[in-house]
Amino acid sequence: MEELIQGVTKFQNEVYPGKEAAFRKLANGQNPEVLFITCADSRIDPGMLTQTQPGDLFICRNAGNVVPPHSNQTGGMTASIEFAVAALGVSHIVVCGHSDCGAMKGAIDPGALDDLPHVKEWLGHCRAAREVVKERHGHIDKCHLDEVSKENVLLQLQHLRTHAAVAAKLASGKVRLHGWIYNIASGEVECYNEERKQFELMDSAYSHLIDGQLAAKQGAAV
């Protein structure tokens, strides 16, 4: 706790003064481009990973980067997604899983969660990812953790499409969905390539965007 208090003091005395104008602008509202859905795991820092600033990302976090399918029962994720898409008008939604995910370990072995009934029920939203991997191999255990994590990202992207606000913006081409897996040890990010139906390293999956940025920088330097 002492580190948190010292951190706030440092922010107020050293960081805020250099960005005061930006924060004063943010005080009047937000206009994020991206809804970033990721795990609550303490090792994941969306701002550090994406090198974005306050106001750039609308962030939703929970165990397992879960998006419950739309239902008539309102929940925090459903309301947050609706607000980000329909009110804030984000143009991209990223579902970002990660390596060594404790939630996915629980999804693989739900029996180990008997003492955590709410966690067990929550991870029921990941069950289809577990079953896909189990069907593929004929069994499932901890060696399939990375595979389950990827299938879970794809499953949550499917769930997103059931939300009315998301479905409407997808139909009009105003929103794009992205599936990512962040490797904590290496810093690498794998991204789902919809055309190739596989996860690829970011520089391959987004080569068209990266090449365009490089060309723009080179043109500006001439």
pLDDT in tens, the chain (222 residues): 999 999 999 999 999 999 999 999 999 999 999 999 999 999 999 999 999 999 999 999 999 999 999 988 888 999 999 999 999 999 999 999 999 999 999 999 999 999 999 999 999 999 999 999 999 999 999 999 999 999 999 999 999 999 999 999 999 999 999 999 999 999 999 999 999 999 999 998 888 777 656 555 555 555
Say what the pLDDT of residue 165 is.
97
| Single-letter amino acid, residue 169 | K
Sign for the pseudo-dihedral over CA of 175, 176, 181, 184: negative
52: buried, middle or exposed (CB in 10 Å: 19+, 13-18, 0-12)? Answer: middle
Say what the pLDDT of residue 213 is.
61
| Helix residue spans in the chain (DSSP H) | 2-10, 20-26, 46-50, 76-82, 102-108, 117-122, 127-137, 145-160, 164-171, 202-205, 207-221
Does an H or E element contain 189, and which?
strand 189-193
**CATH class of the 32-187 domain in this structure:** alpha beta
Beta partners for 98? 182
User: For the whole model, what pTM was predicted?
Assistant: 0.92
Say what the pLDDT of residue 219 is.
57
C-alpha span between 137 and 139 (Å, rounded): 5
